Structures are given as structure tokens and as C-alpha cells.
Amino acid sequence: MSQNERLHKYLARCGVASRRKCEVLIAQGHVTVNGKIPGEPGTTIDPNYDVVLVDGKKVLPEELVVIAFHKPPQVLSAVEDASDRDTVISLGPDLGVRLYPVGRLDFASEGLLLLSNDGDLTQKVLHPRYQVEREYEVKIKGEFTNEILDRLRKGVQLSDGPTKPAHVTIQHRPEMQSNVWLRFVITEGRNRIIRRMCEAVGLSVLRLRRVRVGQVSLGDLKPGKFRYLNAIEKDSLLHPVPPAKPGKKKPVRRPARK
């Protein structure tokens, strides 16, 4: 049974480049399908039958690779940087495939960052529909009260709109110190959202570490190191289950790939 796929999506799955860059390659005439240059944006192909070449070389899909990487602070969540700063790709492993960050951690933050060569996986992890949880350990400074904790939980107003309710708990609160460790569990992926939430209630973030994305945990992975995801972790990212709507049953999980 044939299954059509957008050409730029197929090229990205083959590890040629990101989807956006693949669209540029198609527009510039670097790509042919069955010997012809595609004439329209959004061209679809059948990967089982069509022959796709990039600059005269046949491209084929790569094996799915997903790794958990412990991003150190002062490292960019990017493939490359014009200022030649360290990126998660330059510090990460060379596995012979083109990897991309699945989402981001800001420059000063640290912790779990997924890297993959699969655009579909990236889209599913980041898509608001699936509400994939992100868990963070956050060390804050400032006058911390139960009222502030309640505001963080209910959501705060930011420049780009209010935040959704968050699960925020006190992880560690020294008796004689003002610095408190909080645990945030959120489903939003807005830029610097936790830092901005804390700033909005008068708190400063001293340290921010992501420890979980969905069912994938950082564990005891050391900064700058990586590990491959197991089959269950991969499947949870490839087939996320959207939260059930009120009055409806949850969808059945698909079995893990063998």
C-alpha cells in the first residue's frame, strides 16, 4: 500500500537538512523526483516508488536515532552558531547522522535535551495538542511566600499572554537561607517561560535544570554525556497520547515497535 509524503518532509527524514532548508533546496532546483524538478511547493511523493535525488545523488531514509543529552550551562541549543560558541551539536556525539535539538533550553539553563534526526518525533513532542510534560528543578532567590506559590500554580500574565496552570512544588527550602529549590511541571514550550514566570512574581532564577521530557528522564546522566533511548521511551515520543477531553475516554496506546 502506497503512502504519499511531502517532499521536504521526506528529505528531512533522509537527513539532508531541516525541513525549512529542504524547502529552499527544492525551490533552488537541487532536487529531482524521477528525473524531473518539482514544479510546485508542497509536492508529494511515494517513498516506495519514486526516486529522489539531491544534486544527482539518491537519498534514502535514515534509521531513527533519538538520544538524551545532558546540556551543560553556557551552551546553545542549536546546530551551529555564527559566533563560534559551543552548541549541543558541536559538544554532542558524532553518530554518523544529522541530529537536531528537539525543542530548546536557553543558554544559561542545563539538563535534559533530546536530539533526533526525525522531524515527526520533534513535531509531536512540541505540538500543543499532546501537552507533553517538561519537568524542571529551579533554584530561586527572593521573598518566597505561599501567595507567590499559588500565583505560579494558577498561571501568571506574561507579555505574550497568560501561562497555563502549572504543577509547582517546593523541593527544598533551607531554614536559614533565602534560596529555595522548586519543581515545575509544565506543558508549554514558550521561550524562557519559567524564568519569565519567576520574574513576573518577583523571583530571580539562580539555576534551572530540566530533568524530564514526557517519559524520558535525565537520571544520573553527566553534563556533556548522552545515552540512547530505549524502545519504550522512543514509542512514548513517537505516539504521544493527547489528554482526554471531559466526558471522553482516553485513546488506546499503540504498542511499542519491536
Q: Give the CA-trace dihedral at 34, 40, 41, 43, to 10 degrees.
A: -40
Task: Please give the positions annotated as active site.
Answer: 106
> What residue type is 222 in one-letter code?
K
Q: Is 205 helix (H, G, I), strand (E, B) or coil?
A: strand
The Cα-based distances of 212 to 23, 68, 137, 185 in angstroms read 32, 10, 10, 9
Distance CA 224, CA 94 (A): 13
- Inter-axis angle of helices 119-126 and 231-238, nearest 10: 70
Q: Determine the Cα angle at 250 with ends 246 and 251, to 5°.
A: 135
Host H or E run for residue 134: strand 134-141
